[in-house]
């Protein structure tokens, strides 16, 4: 059959609007709306038959039941849903009424066309409403990770506007000890602050094992500035609670859920966070980031540099310490899960590399050691040996007990490339 014969067969089923008629031929020609296709076919068929042209009111269409006349109304409702929200990109999805979907199948079946001819009703609805939303709001469509996703439920007559998360990247330095990276709920009361009806003795009723955290200093400020409902803190690894994070700082991303503001002054935000932290932590290099930066921060292979204050059980000479550190430089270390983390880590042997190890004695029993190693290398155990679970170790090579009395992380950098790649930023 020719395209005009197919169009006639569709039109003979009853009053079919131009959009529903043209939708069966959506793959034919470009630059036309389905309504334009449908009207053109109807006109061409009338000319070919030498019959009067008869238009069909969209409201009378038995297929869409008038829904294709409502693109403007739905777009206006979408715009109203975000009139007080900052967004740059959007996407529209439609939940089509089951009856309309059934009518579409009956229309094609009755005309002898394949059930998948053209495109679906909801695909046209997404596109036509979406074009209008873009014009009304000055935003651009994004089919990957838009700022806002609209769901149009035609049968329920509702518009749902889902705001996707916004992301702020930066680096933090932790300038005081005994501050965890993220909030640490009390394990005795599961963060409630109560055991039964009484305040929890273990956490003093606070619900947390530590009063402050890097997350606690950073996330609430970002959430407030971006007018979000909640936040998640994503770090490139984490240092021990009793370790400082100095030098270049540790990369992190704060994810803000359902933000109503996205255009923010990151320099002002940086100052606000640092003022709130009052010397406990500080952040720098804040930038608006993409969704993909979360995975990059969490999964990019990184090396780390540490400075450790070490105390020995026996006297050690400069020559002995130098020789031991030379032996560790370039060494492959096998570490069975340390005692101090075996309650939350799988019991396996990990292989990590030491890139460089230097240090100097302060006296015969005390030294400062600097280690540059592969990510995941347990530094305290590299020094102590952890009762033989780490091999080789500084204590094992020196044949004396050794313990880290203070640990500082002084650099966290990508192994093969920097964390800061412009591809992952929005500015």
One domain for residues 156 and 219 = no
In a domain, 80, yes or no: yes
Q: What is the C-alpha to C-alpha distance for residues 407 and 287, in angstroms, rounded to an integer?
A: 29
How many folded domains does the chain comprise? 3
Question: What pLDDT score was predicted for residue 192?
Answer: 77
Closest CA to 376 of 387, 390, 394, 395: 390
Q: Is the pLDDT of residue 202 over 80?
A: no
One domain for residues 258 and 286 = yes
Which pLDDT band, with edges at 50, 70 and 90, does 199 fall under?
confident
Q: Can you tell me the mean pLDDT for 389-394?
A: 96
Which pLDDT band, with edges at 50, 70 and 90, does 381 fall under?
very high
One domain for residues 138 and 11 = yes
Convert the pLDDT of each residue in 223-279 to its tens digit. Answer: 999 999 999 999 999 999 999 999 999 999 999 999 999 999 999 999 999 999 999
Of 6, 18, 240, 408, which one is the catalytic site residue? Answer: 240
**Has 172 been labeled as part of a binding site?**
no
In a domain, 426, yes or no: no
One domain for residues 48 and 150 = yes
One domain for residues 27 and 153 = yes
Which pLDDT band, with edges at 50, 70 and 90, does 353 fall under?
very high
Closest CA to 24 of 5, 12, 37, 40: 37
One domain for residues 368 and 262 = no
In a domain, 216, yes or no: yes
Q: What is the DSSP letter of 125?
A: H
Question: What pLDDT score was predicted for residue 186?
Answer: 77
The b/e string for 157-182 (b: 16+ C-beta within 10 A; e otherwise) is eebebebbbbbbbbbbbbeeeebbbe
Residue 315's CATH number: 3.30.70.3190
Final residue belonging to a domain, choices 283, 299, 315: 299
Question: What pLDDT score was predicted for residue 304?
Answer: 97
Question: What pLDDT score was predicted for residue 204?
Answer: 74
One domain for residues 82 and 196 = no
Q: Is-catalytic flag, 356? A: no
Strands 148-153 and 89-95: parallel
Q: What is the C-alpha to C-alpha distance for residues 378 and 371, in angstroms, rounded to an integer?
A: 11
**Has 169 been labeled as part of a binding site?**
no
Least confident stretch, 72-81, 331-340, 396-405: 331-340
In a domain, 424, yes or no: no
Neighbours of 78 (CB within 10 A): 24
One domain for residues 290 and 327 = no
One domain for residues 75 and 147 = yes
In a domain, 394, yes or no: yes
Helix, strand or coil, per DSSP, at residue 348: coil
Q: Is the pLDDT of residue 1 over 70?
A: no
One domain for residues 37 and 73 = yes
Is residue 213 a contact partner of residue 184, using CB atoms and an 8 Å limit? yes
Question: What pLDDT score was predicted for residue 348?
Answer: 86
Question: What pLDDT score was predicted for residue 343?
Answer: 66
Least confident stretch, 57-61, 119-123, 138-142, 208-212: 208-212
Convert the pLDDT of each residue in 280-307 to its tens digit. Answer: 999 999 999 999 999 999 999 999 999 9
pTM as predicted: 0.88
Q: Which domain holds residue 383?
A: 302-414
Is residue 43 a contact partner of residue 35, using CB atoms and an 8 Å limit? no
Final residue belonging to a domain, choices 163, 185, 203: 163
One domain for residues 282 and 371 = no
Which residues does 413 contact at the CB level (< 8 Å), separation at least 6? 248, 302, 303, 304, 419
In a domain, 420, yes or no: no
Is residue 398 a contact partner of residue 310, using CB atoms and an 8 Å limit? no
The per-residue pLDDT of the chain, averaged, comes to: 94
One domain for residues 203 and 267 = yes
Residue 221's CATH number: 3.30.70.2510
Residue 67's CATH number: 3.30.2300.10
Final residue belonging to a domain, choices 163, 190, 206: 163
Q: Is the pLDDT of residue 14 over 70?
A: yes
């Amino acid at each position: 059959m020719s395209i005009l014969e197919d169009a006639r067969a569709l039109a003979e089923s009853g009053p079919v609007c131009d959009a529903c008629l043209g939708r069966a031929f959506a793959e034919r020609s470009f630059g036309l709306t389905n309504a334009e296709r449908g009207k053109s076919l109807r006109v061409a068929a009338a000319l070919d038959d030498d019959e009067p042209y008869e238009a069909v009111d969209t409201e009378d269409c038995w297929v869409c039941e008038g829904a294709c006349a409502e693109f403007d109304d739905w777009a206006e409702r979408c715009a109203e849903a975000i009139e007080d929200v900052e967004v740059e990109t959007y996407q529209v999805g439609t939940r089509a009424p089951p009856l309309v979907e059934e009518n579409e199948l009956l229309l094609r079946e009755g005309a002898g066309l394949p059930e998948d001819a053209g495109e679906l009703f909801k695909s046209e609805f997404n596109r036509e409403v979406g074009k209008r939303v873009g014009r009304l709001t000055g935003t651009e469509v994004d089919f990957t990770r838009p700022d806002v996703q609209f769901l149009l439920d035609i049968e329920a007559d509702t518009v749902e506007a889902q705001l996707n998360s916004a992301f702020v990247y930066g680096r933090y330095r932790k300038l005081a000890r005994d501050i965890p990276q993220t909030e640490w709920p009390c394990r005795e009361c599961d963060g409630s602050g109560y055991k039964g009806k009484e305040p929890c003795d273990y956490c003093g009723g606070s619900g947390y094992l530590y009063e402050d955290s890097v997350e606690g200093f950073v996330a609430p400020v970002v959430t407030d500035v971006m007018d979000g409902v909640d936040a998640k803190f994503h770090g490139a690894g984490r240092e021990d609670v009793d370790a400082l994070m100095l030098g270049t700082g540790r990369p992190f991303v704060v994810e803000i859920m359902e933000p109503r503001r996205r255009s923010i002054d990151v320099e002002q935000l940086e100052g606000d966070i640092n003022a709130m932290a009052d010397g406990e932590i500080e952040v720098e290099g804040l930038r608006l980031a993409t969704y993909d930066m979360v995975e990059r921060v969490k999964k990019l292979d990184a090396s780390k540099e540490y400075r450790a204050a070490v105390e020995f059980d026996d006297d050690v000479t400069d020559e002995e310490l130098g020789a031991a550190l030379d032996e560790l430089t370039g060494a492959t270390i096998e570490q069975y899960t340390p005692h101090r983390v075996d309650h939350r880590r799988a019991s396996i042997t990990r292989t990590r590399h030491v890139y460089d190890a230097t240090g100097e004695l302060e006296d015969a029993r005390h030294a400062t050691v600097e280690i540059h190693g592969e990510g995941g290398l347990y530094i305290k155990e590299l020094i102590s040996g952890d009762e033989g679970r780490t091999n080789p170790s500084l204590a094992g090579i020196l044949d004396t007990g050794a313990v880290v009395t203070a640990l500082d992380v002084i650099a966290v950098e990508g192994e093969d490339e920097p964390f800061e790649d412009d591809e992952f930023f929005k500015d």
